[in-house]
Structure 1
Amino acid sequence: MQETSLYEPVKRFLESMDFAVKGEVGGCDMVGVRAGEPPVVVICELKLQFNLELVLQAVDRAAACDEVWLAALMSARGKGREHDRRFRALCRRLGFGLLGVSARGEVELILSPAALPPRRDPRRRSRLVEEHHRRKGDPSIGGSTRKKPIMTAYRQEALACAAAMVDGPK
C-alpha cells in the first residue's frame, strides 16, 4: 500500500466539511480551501503510519494554514500510534487533527484540530492559496511527489501556451 491510496478517502472526508481539496500544492500532500473572507486553509499530510516524521512535517506546515491534519493508515491489530495516548496528547498540544484510514478506505476522526493562537506566515499562506486557485482541476494525487513531475499551475499554463503555439498564428 502507498500514501496515494489514502488520498481519495481523506479528500472525500475534507470535502464533506466544505473544503475544495487539491493534491501536492506547494509541497503539501493536500491543501483544502473553504470559501470565505479570509478563506480557511487546511493542510493534510499523508503517511502509511503515524510517526515522528509525520508530526515534523505538520510542524513545518503549521505557519501556512489555519488547521493541520495528519492522516495515516490505522494499524491492523489496533495497537498502533493512533491509540497511544501520548501521541494523541502531543498532537492535541500542537493543535493538529488526526485522521485514521482503515484498509477499506474508511476515515475515522481520531482528534479534531485545536484552535490555537495564529502562527501564520502570510506570504507562504498566500502562495498556497494562489497556487490552489490557479490550478485547473485536481491533476496531482496527494502523496505522489516521487512518482512523476507534479502538475503545477505554471506547468498547466506552459502546456496551454505550447498547445496554442502548435496551431500557429491565425
Structure 2
Amino acid sequence: MIKQEGTLALPGNTEVTNSQPSTFAGEKKFQEIFQVANTTRNQLCPVRDIVARISDKWSMLAIFALGGFGTLRFNEMKHKIGDISQRMLTVTLRNLEADGLVTRTVFPEIPPRVEYQLTPLGYGLMQQFSLLADWATDNGEQILRCRQLQRNAS
C-alpha cells in the first residue's frame, strides 16, 4: 500500500478510511458552497462569515446556556458557562446581539437589570448546534481512540 502525504503508516492498519457512500445527497450542495466561497473570496462570503462568527466555543456555549435555561442575566450566564472571562462574555453577547441571535433587555431599575434571551433566529441556530452536539456525543469515543492511536504512532 502506498503511503499518502500526511498519513501515518500504522502497523496492521489496512482499513480504508474513505468509506463514504458512493452517492452522497448533499455533495452537489457542498460543491456549490465552495464555488460561491471561491468566487467571492475578496467579498463577503455568507457561509464563511457566519460560520466564523458562531463557531467559537463561547458563542456555542452562550447559545446553549440561553437555550437550556431561558432568559439569563449576565452573571447567571457567566456562572453557567464557567471558565469564560467577563470581557469575553461581553464581546460574545454583543456579537450575538448584533447578528440578531440574542436580545438584550435593560430594565430601568437601580441598579439596572439586564437580561439576555435567544431570538427565534437564535433558537434555530441552537437546534443546528444540538445536531452537532448529538453527533459529537455519538462519536466522541471513536474520535478519542483515533487521537490516541495517532499519539502512539508519533
Q: What interval of TM-score do these two structures reach, taking the shorter chain for normalisation?
A: under 0.3
**More strand, by proportion:** 1
TM-score, normalised on structure 2?
A: 0.24
**More helix, by proportion:** 2
TM-score, normalised on structure 1?
A: 0.22
Could you say which structure has the greater relative contact order, defined with CA pairs below 8 angstroms and 6 or more residues apart?
1
